[in-house]
Structure 1
Amino acid sequence: MTYSGLEAALQLAQGLAPLLASLLHLGCATAVTVHALLNKRQVETTIGWIALAWLAPLVGSLLYLMLGVNRIQRAGVALGLKDKWRGEGRSADASKEADAPCLPELAGINRLTREITGRALLAGNAVTPLVQGDEAYPAMLRAIGGARHSVTLMSYIFNDDAAGRAFVDVLALAQARGVQVRVLIDAVGARYSRTNTVKRLRQAGVPATAFLPPRLTRLLAQANLRNHRKIMVVDGELGFTGGMNISAGHWLSKQPTQPIRCLHFAVRGPVVTDLQRTFAIDWAFTTGEALHGSPWFADSAPCGPVLARGVTDGPDADIDHMRQVILGALATAQQRVRIVTPYFLPDEVLLTTLQVTALRGVAVDIVLPARSNLPLMDWAMRPQMGGLVDSGCRVYLTGPGFDHTKLFLVDDAWSLIGSTNWDARSLRLNFEYNLECHDAQLVRQLDALVDERVHIAHRLTAAELARQSLAGRVRDRLVWLLSPYL
């Protein structure tokens, strides 16, 4: 080809490049539009993604591919994992197991949660609150140290610090003496620590793996879908769950530089089987190894007064479970609702339901940290407070220090405890695990913990919100626009 011919070809390519880019943008934006219309449930979300795809050429479509498409649902359902473990530790057809008799005033929420989850309300459980790492970690370490058959542990964060190393050591000793140990850590949560705890566990001889590592081949598909559950089960009989990660910040008696208040629970009784089944499903999804029968599962005898049921939630077949249970519990509330959460960014339906609950005479207490570990969250939460306060909700801001506790109490005998925050990430993107509990004594114990926080908290008022500067309100509103993705 002559020089003039090459020059002509380059000019032609340069002339075609804008056309090809426009066609690529048109095709990608059209694909996003069709997919969003067919798959998204909320009008505002659908409009937002479509607008982003058209107004931000290629970038908007790429963001939708990364953050807006749920691929876990197809994988999770295809594996059929829930059916595999449905009967472990219970009758052969556990889906038809009868609910334990509950209080008449809780019959509505009991039926709702049964229909949503397909799980029975199980009698005979003991649920013990463990306040801070000071109570939770020694109890968990003792349980691992006394394990005879098996230990399964799942955590979002498992730091390589004083707390994490204590767990690594005792897990390694358990594995060395013949106990079957399995540890599952979320791949993103594992990176909160400079040293990867999965590697440290493997070096110590403990079978451990990371949940959905965001490798390049799956970065677009799964980077935003995290396993936020906190579950530990020893010998299939003793369980631990709640909101506490494994981090030195929770061990307050050791005076950490950044103390974090939180709450965990020790669980005994038939519902422990559900904790173990949830771990087994996530472990099989991640590794392909099926944990069936002994030494993982045991028939736990009734040992306490609590009626309990596991509630799983995640971007698979369980999507929206937690949100629907929360809405149902708010609808049945007659006297009071108490919420403690580190992050509070519920969608418009949940916000409106909270306001309506307060307006019909139910006392609604919302306890939040005055300052969380994420400033963007603090700014995004504030624009919602005016409507809540005006409707009669009592919003309390606790501090100093970050409170990571997660509690939801309704009236005198119903509670939801576990890993879920009141934000879009927990309610739409993360894999979460909670226990629905029916027991008046447990609620009294948890009420006392909420009272402690309210006693030292600052109550947010409409006058205080009105005094905020214009610059502050604009900043908060701008960040609030990102609330579906925070």
Structure 2
Amino acid sequence: MSIALSVLYFLSLLTIPHLLFRKKHPSATLAWLWGILLFPFLGALLYLAIGTDRLKRKRLHRRASFTSSRPHRKNTDWANPSLSPGDAALVSQIARLNQIPVTQVDDTRLLPDADKFYDALLIRIAEARHHIHIQFYIWRKDATGDIFIKALVAAAQRGVKVRVLLDEVGCFFVPASYFKPIVDSGGEFSWFLTISPRRQRYLLNLRNHRKLQVIDGAIAFVGGMNIGREYQGLDPSVGGWRDMQIELTGPAACVLQESFADDWYFATKRHIEDECYYPKSFQAGPFTTLVVAGGPDSIHSPVQKSLLAMLNHTQKRIWLTSGYFVPNSVTLTAMQLCAARGVDVRLLISGKSDHPILLHIGRSYYEELLESGVRLFEYNAAIHHCKAGVIDDDWLLVGSANLDNRSMHLNFELNVLIHMPERTAELAAILKKDYDSAVEIKLDKFRNRPLRQKWIEAIVRPFGPVL
């Protein structure tokens, strides 16, 4: 028995060179190293299950071979001459960070709850003429899910090309057979497949968290919403739910189409390259738009660096909301420096969370942010799952990425940043209402929180880099 344990312990230690060669952030490396050394069997197994990012090089190779041949891709070094020099510099910087072309929208519509989003998407599905591309992290097998299955079946039956792509971890309890009516009607369905023994993928920790829907290459929806009755506040076990999706029309839909096409290719090895999926009929829209697509397929952390660029750019205010808040040291420092410049930095976090441990980790950073002048709010009326923001009076941000390590480095995420003062004012009014409905965290009161709460925060904080 002792020999067997010694062999197992030695095998566990073999994961350490793999960990060191991954070149993770030092805090994450140390956290996993201690886990492997202190809990040699469990720590090594957990690391292999959720600590690796082997998808990086495989996806980069496939993505490069696919996108490099697309004739409609544009130069990323572009800026609208009507923008201020500062805004033009931000556009160029974020486009280069993401290696995604600067684009434009003709118009946008904010959809600040599930009912509005579902109604808008169902109308666009009913009006679709050529194709419907649907991507979600979660799709529940419930009455709401049934409605969308029927709508997509009807579209496929009238000759519209329907493709549905879902994350297999997010939809863990939903069988593929649930989507069989779509396939039987001529549509296509696939899991994103980061867990696929047949393809030698065992990447439980890498998930496609994007929520993207593209209709006829001209209309797109992006945001934080999934499909299910809980997002409508109809699940008593969950309660109320606050979220955000944005509908946009114009050339940006083609750029977002590329995001779907890349993910579809990774999942199915089938290309979506025909020019009919990337219409050229519309002129450049008046509102400059940047697509931020991050994930473990990029070594440049575009979501993280784009956030840093926004924090560095803003002059008057940056108001943010995030369902989960687990900042790394870079994000923390950037927010502190931004507030120190006199910028109105506000962050709303859901105080009612479906992952309470993340709330406690986030709270462990409150004091140092409050001391720097950052204003923090906790929303307790419902689960506040919205990922959105306004930068000064001109830019609005909507997407799927939270302010946590998972969204910055591990998940496949998708945000849009749009220069549109009118819509920015509309989103600012929505956020202002949420801030007013939330509890603002005050420094003096927070310092006097119960000792038990301080202990919980101190215990869970070291797990932040690996969650």
Structure-2-length-normalised TM-score = 0.92
Q: Which of 51, 63, 66 lines up with 2:46 in the alignment?
A: 63
- Between the aligned partners of 2:71 and 2:397, the Cα distance in structure 1 is 23
* One-letter code aligned to 1:76: R
Unaligned runs of at least 5 residues, structure 1: 1-16
1:239-268 deviation line (CA, Å, top 9, x unaligned): 11111111222335xx55333111111111
Residue 165 of structure 2 aligns to a residue whose secondary structure is: strand
Residue 249 of structure 1 aligns to a residue whose secondary structure is: helix
- Between the aligned partners of 1:481 and 1:96, the Cα distance in structure 2 is 38
Compute the displacement of 1:59 (Å). Answer: 2.8
Within-5 A mapping of 1:240-251: 240-251=221-232
1:345-367 deviation line (CA, Å, top 9, x unaligned): 11011112111211221111111
Equivalent pair of 1:86/1:94 in contact (CA under 8 Å) = no
Compute the displacement of 1:475 (Å). Answer: 1.5
* One-letter code aligned to 1:370: G
Q: Does 1:424 align with 2:405?
A: yes
Compute the displacement of 1:214 (Å). Answer: 3.0
- Between the aligned partners of 2:452 and 2:320, the Cα distance in structure 1 is 30
* One-letter code aligned to 1:84: F
* One-letter code aligned to 1:321: P
Partner of 2:94: 113
Compute the displacement of 1:294 (Å). Answer: 4.6
Choose 1 or 2 for highest CA Rg.
Answer: 1
Q: Which of 414, 426, 434 lines up with 1:453 in the alignment?
A: 434
Partner of 1:8: none
Within-5 A mapping of 1:208-219: 208-212=189-193, 214-215=195-196
Partner of 1:389: 370
Q: Which of 93, 99, 105 lines up with 2:79 in the alignment?
A: 99
Q: Which of 169, 172, 193 lines up with 1:191 in the alignment?
A: 172
Distance 1:104 1:213, change over 3 A: closer
Equivalent pair of 2:352/2:380 in contact (CA under 8 Å) = yes
Distance 1:87 1:204, change over 3 A: same
1:134-181 deviation line (CA, Å, top 9, x unaligned): 211111001111111110000001112222111110100011111110
Residue 307 of structure 1 aligns to a residue whose secondary structure is: strand
Within-5 A mapping of 1:92-171: 94-95=74-75, 98-101=78-81, 102-171=83-152
Equivalent pair of 2:360/2:457 in contact (CA under 8 Å) = yes
- Between the aligned partners of 1:433 and 1:188, the Cα distance in structure 2 is 18
Partner of 1:374: 355
- Between the aligned partners of 1:350 and 1:375, the Cα distance in structure 2 is 21
1:80-133 deviation line (CA, Å, top 9, x unaligned): x2453357573xx52366333332221332222122112232234322111211
Within-5 A mapping of 1:162-181: 162-181=143-162
* One-letter code aligned to 2:42: V
- Between the aligned partners of 1:196 and 1:482, the Cα distance in structure 2 is 37
* One-letter code aligned to 2:164: V
Partner of 1:7: none
- Between the aligned partners of 2:394 and 2:69, the Cα distance in structure 1 is 29
- Between the aligned partners of 1:219 and 1:247, the Cα distance in structure 2 is 31
Partner of 1:468: 449
Q: Which of 73, 77, 80 lines up with 2:60 in the alignment?
A: 77
Partner of 2:29: 46
Aligned length: 464
Q: Does 1:32 align with 2:12?
A: no
Within-5 A mapping of 1:10-21: 18-19=2-3, 21=5
- Between the aligned partners of 1:213 and 1:325, the Cα distance in structure 2 is 25
Residue 482 of structure 1 aligns to a residue whose secondary structure is: helix
* One-letter code aligned to 2:30: I
RMSD after superposition: 2.4
- Between the aligned partners of 1:36 and 1:191, the Cα distance in structure 2 is 28
* One-letter code aligned to 1:485: V
- Between the aligned partners of 1:330 and 1:213, the Cα distance in structure 2 is 33
- Between the aligned partners of 1:476 and 1:450, the Cα distance in structure 2 is 27
- Between the aligned partners of 1:244 and 1:458, the Cα distance in structure 2 is 24
* One-letter code aligned to 2:35: L
- Between the aligned partners of 1:48 and 1:397, the Cα distance in structure 2 is 28
* One-letter code aligned to 1:66: A
Q: Which of 292, 298, 303 lines up with 1:311 in the alignment?
A: 292
Q: Which of 312, 318, 331 lines up with 2:312 in the alignment?
A: 331
Partner of 1:291: 272
- Between the aligned partners of 1:327 and 1:467, the Cα distance in structure 2 is 31
- Between the aligned partners of 2:403 and 2:424, the Cα distance in structure 1 is 20
Comparing 220-229 with 100-109, which one deviates more in the overlay?
100-109
- Between the aligned partners of 1:220 and 1:303, the Cα distance in structure 2 is 41
Distance 1:478 1:448, change over 3 A: same
Compute the displacement of 1:188 (Å). Answer: 1.0
- Between the aligned partners of 2:11 and 2:385, the Cα distance in structure 1 is 44
- Between the aligned partners of 1:64 and 1:220, the Cα distance in structure 2 is 15
Compute the displacement of 1:383 (Å). Answer: 0.9
Equivalent pair of 2:28/2:466 in contact (CA under 8 Å) = no
Q: Which of 252, 261, 266 lines up with 1:271 in the alignment?
A: 252
- Between the aligned partners of 2:448 and 2:205, the Cα distance in structure 1 is 37
Distance 1:485 1:47, change over 3 A: closer
Compute the displacement of 1:471 (Å). Answer: 1.6
- Between the aligned partners of 1:164 and 1:143, the Cα distance in structure 2 is 17
* One-letter code aligned to 2:383: F
Equivalent pair of 1:308/1:437 in contact (CA under 8 Å) = yes
Equivalent pair of 1:33/1:50 in contact (CA under 8 Å) = yes
Unaligned runs of at least 5 residues, structure 2: none
Q: Which of 208, 233, 238 lines up with 2:214 in the alignment?
A: 233
Equivalent pair of 2:156/2:182 in contact (CA under 8 Å) = no
Q: Does 1:206 align with 2:187?
A: yes
Equivalent pair of 1:110/1:121 in contact (CA under 8 Å) = yes
Compute the displacement of 1:215 (Å). Answer: 4.9
Distance 1:259 1:82, change over 3 A: farther
Q: Which of 376, 379, 383 lines up with 1:398 in the alignment?
A: 379
